Each structure stands twice: as structure tokens, then as C-alpha cells.
Amino acid sequence: MDPSRYSRQVLFPGIGIEGQDAISESRVVIIGCGALGSMQSEMLARAGVGRLKIIDRDFVELSNLHRQILFNEQDARENQPKVVAAAKRLALVNSAVNVEPVVADVNFSNVEDLIADADVVLDGTDNFETRYLINDAAVKLGIPWVYGAAVGSSGLQMTVRPGKSPCLTCVWPESPAPGTFPTCDTGGVILPIIALIASLQVTETLKLAMGRTNELHSSLLQFDSWTNRYTHLNLANAKRADCKTCGQHNFEYLSGREAQMTSTLCGRNAVQVWPSRATRVDLEELASKMRNTGRVTHNKYLVRMSADPYEITVFADGRSIIKGTEDTAIARSLYSRYVGA
């Protein structure tokens, strides 16, 4: 390690030489390389983490560039996989960091293998289902993970230390139904809230990498960068003995029982997606959210949105037909972006 490279970071009393050595030996996994994940990746590469595994199933699009700081217009023109473009960029930022790009759809069949050797896992995802899956796997394997979410101008952040702190299920026992909350593709998002939440996540990650767990904020933080509102919920007593995940070790998402189901519709160039649990969607509300992103029609039975080259039809039971692809990973990604998961 070149001591001059990190000299200003080492001067900070919270890190120092020993802390920098620990950071340089740390192994971090980032799941999702969109807005949060790309910013986390660059900050951690510049901080000098030893190994950085970045996992994402998606490719770069022009609409990503206002908030996903690792990518450029050429990446979008070439439809580069996000993690491949990220690895190229990060190699120019800090060639000493071992960056491992993994093009994969994280699901119940592979998540444990993907994070098994991590010291810390960061949430860079865009949907609830994957976050509950990360929570299951991290609690089961005893790996700390750092949750973060942002949409519009509002964001949330908390850190989970299995066995020591409340987990995601302690705080939210059930995931919201599809269509309940806006997504970045229906409600928009601005870069300042991404930067704020990612900064909080990376700060917590550095503390975990150095073993400075007494300096973690141990809270659920909520910020709105537009309205200047800030909420701090102390989670010291939020760990629940009856929590089905960390209390009972009932890993529903890891078992696949809570996973979205998909099937390719033969001869139709379409995939059908079912939500992870029985639900009812407010179609009128969903139609209103979708109108900002494409051509929308709806009736009391369904909402249909055309966003070339895809057509997304959502039914009241949360089931959706995604036309324009036979790739189930793409279909699940589109469902998450426009409906929620």
C-alpha cells in the first residue's frame, strides 16, 4: 500500500494507520450497481478496500446517467453490463483494488454463495424482495449488511449486525405489496439523496471493516434532501425475539417460498411474473404513477403501459405480463422498476 495515497484519510482520527490497514484487507460485496451501488463502489474503491465484488443483472441506459456516476454515454450506447462498465471505471480510479464484476440475477439459489466470503454486504438494490433476501442470507451466515433506499428526494438507511442489532424483518415484518410505493422509474429520483444515502452506507461500512462497531449509529435514519426533513429512530430496543428471521431463523425468502415466480409464454415473446405473495393492487393508483413513464391505459381489471420495446400489463392480483422479452431476469427487473417488488 502506498502510504501517500491514503494520507489524508489516515490523518482522520477515526481511521489512522491501523484503520487503513483493516480497510485494505476488507472484502465488501455490493448487490446492485445502479444509483446507490455505483456511488458506493467508487467511494469504497477510493477508500482502498481490498476486494470489491459488485453484482448486478442490468445494463447501462441513457436514463441512468443523471444519477449513476460510474457510467458514461458510450457505456449506454454499447448497452454495457453495469458491473463490467463499473469495473473498467474503477480500475482507472484505483488499480490496487481487486474488483470482481458479477453479471447475475441475485436470487434464493445463489445469494449465499455470492456473499459467503464477505466481511460486509451493501444494499444497492431497488426492490424489497431482494432486500429481504439479503437479510435472510446475511442473518443466516452472520454477515453484517448495510441497508439503504432512495426515491424522489427521500431516503432511508440502517445497518444490520446479525445477533447484535434488529434485522430488516424486526423493523418491517412484512414487505409492502407491489404498487404500494413509488419507484425511481415512476416517482423519479434526484442525485443529492442518492449521494447522501450512499455516503451514510459507506461510512457505516468503513466502521464495520475496521471493527469500530461502537461507532455505528444504531438507528433508522430518514432524510428528505428537498424538504430538509430528518428523522432519527433509535433501534436499540427494536430487536424482536419473535422475529421470524433473526429470532426464529425462518428464512422464507431464502427458501424460495417468497420469491417472485416467472414463466415464459410460449410463442408470445413475453414473460409472466407473479408477486412473491398474494396481494391486491390499486390499479388506478398504479396507473397514475406509471403515466410519467410511458403510454398508459387502464380499466377495473388491468393497467397496461407501453415503454418501447416493452409492454407491461399488470392485473389486480399483482400478476404481470411483460411483452418484448423472453428473458426472465429482464422481466423481473422491469417489474421491479415499474411496479415494485
DSSP type of residue 298: E
| Amino acid at site 101 | P
Cα dihedral sign, 291-295-297-301:
negative
| Chain centroid offset of residue 249 CA | 23
Strand, helix or coil at 55? strand
Detail the DSSP E strand segments found in the chain: 27-31, 51-56, 98-103, 120-123, 145-151, 154-160, 219-224, 229-234, 261-265, 270-274, 295-298, 302-307, 310-315, 320-323
- Grouping H, G, I as helix, E, B as strand and the rest as coil, residue 161 is coil
How distant, in Å, are the alpha carbons of 34, 150, 203, 209 from that of 48?
21, 25, 13, 11
Catalytic pick among 170, 184, 243, 246: 184
Answer yes or no: 170 catalytic: no
Q: How far apart are CA 73 and CA 84, in angstroms?
A: 15
Non-local (6+) Cβ contacts of 279 within 8 A are 177, 178, 317, 318
Catalytic residues: 184
